[in-house]
């Protein structure tokens, strides 16, 4: 299937070009008995905010009631003594989506899902992990690791997280019919959502112990006042689940994204750069699209011939 990289002038141009792709999909969708809803995957972070504004600005051109959305990830450990307060915290991804898209739509999506991280009490999770190290495995080569809870786990809280938080979210996606188009961003180390660099690529729904670098970036970007105030865990789709979508649309802008974009396109498929999985996805049945600004594209400038050999088409819209 196609692997296309569209290079744009800047953030606004990137947002418009990516928005046009999503809008075309939503406009052309016609509900049927076999396919009653369009399933849209959503990301948080700065990169897709302009795209979401584009959809809000053009909402009269598609029927939001025909859309079901699934978000990529959610924090565990946000301030708040119960799940409602945590979900309403300004840094929760549920709150982010309300601010950036859901709250701007006059007609709401049929259903919206965000991974159920706010249902988990971080202190209870940490205590459960301390009680029985035989109930789980830590997987990953970096400081950010997947906490893989075994099917044979004995601790009730870990069994609850596996069944009701992780497995239930994946089943909800399957029940909806699978994701048609998934919007994703990219982290500074090439990670997608909270699938951190070094976590194996074959894992689906993840309980993640966050990399210190991810936490520091959240503080640096102003999301949390200090390292100690930041969540240490998260729930996330893993890349193998993300790339089950029919189309994956990656948006990236700015200098922090230059290196991971280049590595994901020019290098091998590797857990060190999780978004490199897009190469495997496109080599199979998937439609892979990058929409990136000129700064994020600097690492692939002049490498068109090398990329063409890998089946990657470059469309330069900066001129």
Q: What is the mean pLDDT of each run of 10 residues along the chain (319 residues)?
A: 95 98 98 97 96 98 98 94 92 96 98 97 96 96 96 97 98 98 95 96 97 85 86 96 98 97 98 98 96 98 95 96
Helix%, strand%, coil% for the chain, nearest 5: 40, 20, 35
Does 245 map to a domain? yes
Q: Give the total number of structural domains in the chain.
A: 1
CB atoms within 10 A of CB 293: 25
Cβ(228)–Cβ(266) below 8 Å: no
Q: Say how many Å lie between the first and final Cα of the chain, rounded.
A: 27
Could you identify the residue written with the tokens 């307060």?
A: 85
Cα separation, 13 vs 40, in Å, equals 22
Orientation angle between helical segments 11-28 and 49-57, nearest 10 degrees: 50
Q: What is the pLDDT of residue 216?
A: 87
Q: Which residues, including other chains, have CB under 8 Å from residue 166's CB and lie 6 or more apart?
A: 149, 205, 206, 207, 235
Provide the residue range defining the domain that includes 80. 3-217+228-316
- Alpha-carbon torsion angle 205, 172, 127, 192, nearest 10: 30
CB atoms within 10 A of CB 292: 26
DSSP assigned state of 141: S
Cβ(85)–Cβ(55) below 8 Å: no
Cα separation, 143 vs 161, in Å, equals 22
Does 222 map to a domain? no
Could you identify the residue written with the tokens 């990670």?
A: 191
Does 254 map to a domain? yes
Kindly state the tokens that stand for 308: 């063409």
Does 223 map to a domain? no
Does 303 map to a domain? yes
Ranges of beta strands (E only) in the chain are 3-8, 38-42, 67-71, 73-76, 111-113, 136-139, 145-149, 181-184, 205-209, 233-237, 247-252, 287-293, 312-316
Q: What is the pLDDT of residue 313?
A: 97
Could you identify the residue written with the tokens 């007609």?
A: 107
Does 255 map to a domain? yes
CATH number at residue 298: 3.40.50.1360
pTM of the predicted model as reported, rounded to 2 decimal places: 0.96
């Amino acid at each position: 299937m196609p692997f296309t990289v569209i290079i744009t002038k800047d953030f606004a141009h990137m947002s418009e070009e990516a928005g046009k792709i999503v809008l075309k999909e939503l406009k052309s969708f016609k509900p049927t008995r076999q396919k009653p809803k369009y399933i849209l995957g959503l990301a948080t972070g700065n990169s897709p905010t302009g795209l979401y504004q584009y959809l809000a600005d053009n909402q009269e051109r598609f029927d939001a009631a025909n859309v079901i959305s699934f978000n990529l990830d959610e924090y565990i450990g946000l301030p708040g003594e119960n799940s409602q307060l945590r979900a309403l915290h300004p840094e929760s991804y549920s709150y982010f989506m309300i601010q950036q898209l859901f709250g701007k739509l006059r007609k709401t999506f049929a259903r919206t899902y965000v991974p159920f991280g706010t249902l988990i009490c971080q202190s209870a999770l940490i205590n459960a992990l301390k009680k029985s190290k035989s109930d789980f495995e830590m997987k990953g080569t970096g400081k950010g690791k997947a906490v893989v809870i075994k099917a044979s786990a004995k601790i009730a809280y870990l069994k609850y997280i596996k069944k009701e938080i992780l497995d239930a979210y994946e089943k909800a996606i399957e029940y909806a019919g699978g994701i048609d188009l998934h919007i994703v961003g990219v982290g500074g180390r090439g990670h997608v959502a909270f699938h951190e660099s070094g976590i194996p690529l074959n894992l689906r729904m993840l309980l993640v112990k966050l990399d210190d670098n991810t936490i520091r970036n959240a503080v640096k970007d102003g999301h949390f006042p200090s390292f100690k105030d930041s969540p240490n865990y998260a729930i996330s789709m893993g890349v193998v689940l993300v790339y089950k979508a029919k189309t994956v649309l990656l948006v990236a802008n700015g200098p922090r994204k230059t290196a991971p974009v280049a590595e994901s396109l020019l290098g091998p498929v590797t857990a060190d750069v999780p978004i490199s999985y897009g190469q495997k996805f496109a080599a199979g049945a998937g439609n892979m699209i990058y929409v990136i600004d000129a700064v994020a594209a600097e690492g692939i400038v002049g490498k068109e011939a090398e990329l063409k050999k890998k089946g990657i088409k470059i469309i330069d819209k900066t001129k």
